[in-house]
Chain A
Amino acid sequence: MKKFINKIGFASLGLVLFMLFNFGMNSYFIKNQQTKVNGKVLLMGGSHINSGLNPLYIANSKNLATSGETYFDTFYKLKYLVKNPNNDIATVVFGFGYNNICGLNDDKYLKEAMSIKYIGRNYSIIPFNVLNSVGINKIGYLKTIIRRMCLYPSVKHEEFLGKGFNYRLPNLSMSDAAKRVKWHYYINDKVRRESERDIKYLDSIINFANNNNIELIALNIPQRKEYYSAIPEGIKRKYNEIRKSLIKRDIRLIDLLEMELDSSSFANHDHLSYKGAKTISKIVSDSLSGWNLIVVSK
C-alpha cells in the first residue's frame, strides 16, 4: 500500500512540476508576445462575419472573426491588437445583428463546454480577473489553462485571431429556422433577456475606437425571412434602440438584413454561403470606397 501511494505520489509530483515549468515558459512568452496583423481593415465579429465576409474582395482587409465571438471578446481583441505599434488599423467592420445582443452570449463563459471554446481562444488576451468579474466556469478555465499553458511550451498564443474567412463552419445545416431562433433567443421555452454585458462592451468598443482614430462600420448580414421574422419582439426593440444610438454616434451602419438573395447564397437560415459571402463582401468593399449604393444608413 505504502509503495503504491509513494509511486502515485511521485508520478503526480513529477507531472505537476512538468506542468508548472510549461506554465512559466508560456506565461513569459505571452507577456512578450506582439501580434502583427496585415491589414488596415479588420473584419470582426462572430460566425456571421467569419463566413460572410471574404477578404479576397475587400482591399487590405483581414477576417479576424471567430464563431460565437461576443462584443466582450472583440473589445479585448481590438485593444490587444492596437497595443502593438506595428499594427496600422484604420477601419473595423464588425457584426451587428440581433444575435450580438442576445443573452446566449452570457452563457458562453459560464457553461463548461462553451467556456472551454471561448477561454481557449482568449486566455492570452483577457486576464483572469476580468473573466472572473464577468462570470466564468472555473472548471472550464482550469481545463483550458492545463491544455494551452501546461503541456508544452509554445511561443505563439494567438488562437484569438481565428483561422480567417471560413464558409465551411461545422454544424451548419438548413434545419428548422425555429430551432435556430430557439437556440439564440430562448431558454427553457422563455425568451432570454438581452446581454447587458455585451451591450456595455459595444459601448466600450466605440469609445476605444474613437480614442484611437479607428473608423467603425456596423454590418448586419442578410438572413432568411423565416429566421429574422421569428426573433422575439423584445430583442428587436432593444436592437433598434441601440441601432439609433449608433447612428447618433456617427457609426456607419450597413444593414442588409432584409436584402433578398437566392437560396444558394445561404448556408443556413442565418449564415451566408461562399456565394452569399462574395456578394456581401463586394457591397462592403464598395461602401468602404465611398460607393454607398445599398441600404447604407448614417
Chain B
Amino acid sequence: MSFNSFDFAIFLPTVFVIYWFLGNRRLRAQNILLVAASYFFYGTWDWRFLFLIFISSLADFVIGGFLQKPNKDAHRKKLLWLSLSLNLGLLGFFKYFNFFIDSFAYTFSFLGVTFDEARLNILLPVGISFYTFQTLSYTIDIYRRKIKACNDPFAFFAYVSFFPQLVAGPIERAKNLLPQFTDKRVFNYSKAADGVRQILWGLFKKIVIADNCSLIVNSIFFNYQYEDSLTLCLGVFLFLFQVYCDFSGYSDIAIGLGRLFGFNLMKNFDFPFFSRDLPEFWKKWHISLTSWFVDYIYIPLGGSRNGLYAKVRNVIIIFLVSGFWHGANWTFIFWGALCGLTQIPYLLLGYNGRYLTYVAKGRYFPNFKELLQMLGVITFMSFSMIFFRSPNISVAWSYLIRILKFDFSLSVLDDYQFVLLIMGLLIWEWMFRGREHGLEISHLTTKVRWCLYFIFIWLILYNFGSNQKYIYFQF
C-alpha cells in the first residue's frame, strides 16, 4: 500500500477516525491501534516482512531494557554489539548478500579463479534500511545514556513501525519521536490543517512532477545510446528533480500524516536547490540520514576534532557509507565517493558551513553570483545522478561519454513542457524557501487558500494514473 494509492485513501480516514475516537485519555489504546495499523500497512507489501520488523523491534526493546540497568561498561558494550550485529546482520543479509557474493566472484575471476556463485533469491524488505537505522539510534542512545529505555512495549513497537515514516523515513531519532508515543496527544486543528496542506504538497510533487518526469527519464536512460547530448543532459536534470520530488514528496506526506496524528516528525528536505555550495546542499537534502551519519559515524570517528586530515577522512567515510546505504551496487558507492571527494576543496579552504541562513533572505531575487552558485550546485548534482540512475558503472560511463560527444539536435525542444514544469516548481519553491513546506499558506486569505487547494487537487487527480513506485522504497 502506497501513499498514492486508492487503498491508502480508505485506510487513512479509517485509522484517523478510530484513533481520535479513542481519545487522548486512552494513550495505550491509541498506540496499540497505531501498531496494528502500521503492521497492516507494512504487511500489504508482503506479510513475511512483518517477522523481520517484529524481531528487530523485540530484540531492541529487550536489549534496551538491559542496557538501562546499571551494569558494568563491558557488559553494556556486549549488549550494544549484540544489537548492532543483529540489526546490521539482518540488513546486510537481505540487502547486501548477493552484492558481496558477486563482487567476490568478480574479483577472483581476474586471478583465474572461478566460483560457483551461491546467489540467493532474496527479497529486499521494503524500508529495512530506514527502520534499522531508527532502532539502532535507540540502543546507541541508551548506551550513551542520552535517553532512557522505554518501558512500554506498545509505545516502542509503534515508534519502530509508525506507518507514515516506516517505509522511507524521515529516519527519526528515539530522542525526538519516542517521547511523543509516551506522552498524551491532543488534537490540534491548525496543526492538522497544516498537515493536510503538507500532504497535498507532497502528493503534488510526487504525482504531478516526479511521475511525469519518470516517463521521459526512463525513456532517455533506456535509449541513451541513440539520444543526442542535449537530450541526455535533459535526462539527468529531470532525473535529479524526479528523485527530489519523489523522495521529498514522500517525506512531506509522512510529516503531514504525522501531524494529523499529533506527532512532529523531523524535516527531511529544506529546499535544497537553493544552495550556494555543495556543503549547504547536503545540509538540506535527506537531512535525517545525513544527520544520522553525523551523529553515529562521523562524531564517533572523531569528527573534526583531530585535525584537517582526520576531518577529510571522516567526511569521505560518511559519504561512502551513505552511497552504500542507498543500494548494493558499485554505482551507489561511486556516487557516494564522488560526492565525498567534492567536499574536500570546501574542507581545505574552510568553506564548509559558511552559509548559515537561506539564500537571498529578505530579498525577492537572488543576485547574479547566487544564481550562478545555485545553478552550479544543480548541475553538479544532476551529473552525479548518472551514477545513481545507471544499472552499472559501464552504462554510466557510456552515458557520460555520449554526452561529451556534443552532438546536438533540436529534438530536445519536443520535451519543453517538462522544462516548464521544473521551472514552475523552482519558482514556487523559491517563494516558500525558509518555510516548513511548499504549501504553507495559512497566512493567505480563505478564498485564495481554497482556490489553491482546488487547483492542487485538480492537478493531482488529473495526473493520478501512472502510479509509479517511490524510488526510495528500493533502498
Known interface pairs A3-B189, A147-B461, A173-B223. Does A11 touch B453 (Cβ–Cβ under 8 Å)?
yes
Mark A131-144 against chain B: 1 for CB-CB distance below 8 A, else 0: 00000000100111
Point out the residues of chain B lying under 8 angstroms from A116, CB to CB: 465-467
- The residue that A151 contacts in the complex, of B192, B218, B462, B466, with Cβ under 8 A, is B462
Point out the residues of chain B lying under 8 angstroms from A120, CB to CB: 465
Point out the residues of chain A lying under 8 angstroms from B464, CB to CB: 143, 146-147
The answer to whether A146 and B187 touch across the interface, beta carbons within 8 angstroms, is no
- Whether A8 sits at the interface, judged by CB under 8 Å, is yes
The answer to whether A172 and B187 touch across the interface, beta carbons within 8 angstroms, is no
Point out the residues of chain A lying under 8 angstroms from B222, CB to CB: 171, 173, 175
The answer to whether B466 and A8 touch across the interface, beta carbons within 8 angstroms, is no
- Whether B421 sits at the interface, judged by CB under 8 Å, is no
Mark B184-207 against chain A: 1 for CB-CB distance below 8 A, else 0: 000101001100100000000000
Total contacts A to B, CB within 8 angstroms?
A: 51
- Whether B442 sits at the interface, judged by CB under 8 Å, is no
Point out the residues of chain A lying under 8 angstroms from B397, CB to CB: none
The answer to whether B457 and A15 touch across the interface, beta carbons within 8 angstroms, is yes
A173-B219 Cα distance, complex, nearest whole Å: 10
Point out the residues of chain B lying under 8 angstroms from A174, CB to CB: 225-226
- Whether B104 sits at the interface, judged by CB under 8 Å, is no
- Whether A215 sits at the interface, judged by CB under 8 Å, is no
A113-B214 Cα distance, complex, nearest whole Å: 14
Point out the residues of chain A lying under 8 angstroms from B110, CB to CB: none
A170-B89 Cα distance, complex, nearest whole Å: 42
A171-B462 Cα distance, complex, nearest whole Å: 23
Point out the residues of chain B lying under 8 angstroms from A150, CB to CB: 461
The answer to whether B466 and A113 touch across the interface, beta carbons within 8 angstroms, is yes
Point out the residues of chain A lying under 8 angstroms from B6, CB to CB: 139, 142-143
The answer to whether B192 and A4 touch across the interface, beta carbons within 8 angstroms, is yes
Point out the residues of chain A lying under 8 angstroms from B193, CB to CB: 4, 7
- The residue that A173 contacts in the complex, of B189, B192, B226, B450, with Cβ under 8 A, is B226
Known interface pairs A1-B20, A143-B465. Does A151 touch B458 (Cβ–Cβ under 8 Å)?
yes
- Whether A255 sits at the interface, judged by CB under 8 Å, is no
A11's nearest neighbour on chain B, judged by CB, is B453
Residue in A4, A11, A15 whose Cβ sees the most chain B Cβ within 10 Å: A4
Number of chain A residues whose Cβ lies closer than 8 Å to a Cβ of chain B = 25
Point out the residues of chain B lying under 8 angstroms from A143, CB to CB: 6, 464-465, 467
Point out the residues of chain A lying under 8 angstroms from B189, CB to CB: 1, 3-4
CB of B8, distance to nearest CB on chain A (Å): 12
Point out the residues of chain B lying under 8 angstroms from A15, CB to CB: 457
Within 8 A of B (CB), among A94-144: 112-113, 116, 120, 139, 142-144
- The residue that B196 contacts in the complex, of A8, A147, A175, with Cβ under 8 A, is A8
CB of B445, distance to nearest CB on chain A (Å): 16
Mark B439-469 against chain A: 1 for CB-CB distance below 8 A, else 0: 0000000000010010001100110111100
Mark A172-194 against chain B: 1 for CB-CB distance below 8 A, else 0: 11110000000000000000000
Point out the residues of chain B lying under 8 angstroms from A142, CB to CB: 6
B192's nearest neighbour on chain A, judged by CB, is A4
A150-B187 Cα distance, complex, nearest whole Å: 34
A142-B10 Cα distance, complex, nearest whole Å: 14
CB of B467, distance to nearest CB on chain A (Å): 7
Point out the residues of chain B lying under 8 angstroms from A173, CB to CB: 222-223, 225-226
- The residue that B467 contacts in the complex, of A1, A113, A146, with Cβ under 8 A, is A113
Residue in B218, B225, B462 whose Cβ sees the most chain A Cβ within 10 Å: B462
Within 8 A of B (CB), among A157-215: 170-175
Point out the residues of chain A lying under 8 angstroms from B462, CB to CB: 147, 151
Mark A1-22 against chain B: 1 for CB-CB distance below 8 A, else 0: 1011001100100010000000
B13's nearest neighbour on chain A, judged by CB, is A8
Point out the residues of chain B lying under 8 angstroms from A144, CB to CB: 465
A172-B219 Cα distance, complex, nearest whole Å: 8
Point out the residues of chain B lying under 8 angstroms from A171, CB to CB: 218-219, 222-223
A120's nearest neighbour on chain B, judged by CB, is B465
Point out the residues of chain A lying under 8 angstroms from B457, CB to CB: 15
Point out the residues of chain B lying under 8 angstroms from A11, CB to CB: 450, 453
A8-B453 Cα distance, complex, nearest whole Å: 12
A11-B451 Cα distance, complex, nearest whole Å: 11
A200-B427 Cα distance, complex, nearest whole Å: 54
A174-B223 Cα distance, complex, nearest whole Å: 8
A244-B218 Cα distance, complex, nearest whole Å: 41
A147-B6 Cα distance, complex, nearest whole Å: 14
CB of A247, distance to nearest CB on chain B (Å): 38
A295-B6 Cα distance, complex, nearest whole Å: 52
B193's nearest neighbour on chain A, judged by CB, is A4
Known interface pairs A4-B192, A139-B6, A151-B458. Does A172 touch B223 (Cβ–Cβ under 8 Å)?
yes
Point out the residues of chain B lying under 8 angstroms from A7, CB to CB: 193
The answer to whether A146 and B196 touch across the interface, beta carbons within 8 angstroms, is no
Point out the residues of chain A lying under 8 angstroms from B461, CB to CB: 146-147, 150-151
A3-B465 Cα distance, complex, nearest whole Å: 32
The answer to whether B465 and A170 touch across the interface, beta carbons within 8 angstroms, is no
Point out the residues of chain B lying under 8 angstroms from A112, CB to CB: 467
Mark B220-254 against chain A: 1 for CB-CB distance below 8 A, else 0: 00110110000000000000000000000000000
A11-B453 Cα distance, complex, nearest whole Å: 10
A252-B403 Cα distance, complex, nearest whole Å: 48
A150-B465 Cα distance, complex, nearest whole Å: 14
Point out the residues of chain A lying under 8 angstroms from B450, CB to CB: 11
A140's nearest neighbour on chain B, judged by CB, is B465
A130-B472 Cα distance, complex, nearest whole Å: 39
A188-B222 Cα distance, complex, nearest whole Å: 22
A146-B467 Cα distance, complex, nearest whole Å: 14
The answer to whether A147 and B219 touch across the interface, beta carbons within 8 angstroms, is no
Point out the residues of chain A lying under 8 angstroms from B467, CB to CB: 112-113, 116, 143
A44-B464 Cα distance, complex, nearest whole Å: 29
CB of B221, distance to nearest CB on chain A (Å): 11
A11-B450 Cα distance, complex, nearest whole Å: 9
A151-B454 Cα distance, complex, nearest whole Å: 11
CB of A267, distance to nearest CB on chain B (Å): 10
Mark A282-293 against chain B: 1 for CB-CB distance below 8 A, else 0: 000000000000
A residues in contact (CB < 8 Å) with B? 1, 3-4, 7-8, 11, 15, 112-113, 116, 120, 139, 142-144, 146-147, 150-151, 170-175
> Please, could you name 25 A-B residue pairs with CB atoms under 8 Å apart, sorted by A?
A1-B189, A3-B189, A4-B187, A4-B189, A4-B192, A4-B193, A7-B193, A116-B467, A120-B465, A139-B6, A143-B6, A143-B467, A144-B465, A146-B461, A146-B464, A150-B461, A151-B458, A151-B461, A170-B215, A170-B219, A171-B219, A171-B223, A173-B222, A173-B225, A174-B226
Closest 4 CB pairs of A and B: A173-B223, A116-B465, A1-B187, A170-B219
**Besides the contacts A4-B187, A116-B466, A173-B226, what 7 more A-B pairs have beta carbons closer than 8 Å?**
A7-B193, A113-B467, A151-B461, A171-B218, A172-B223, A174-B226, A175-B222
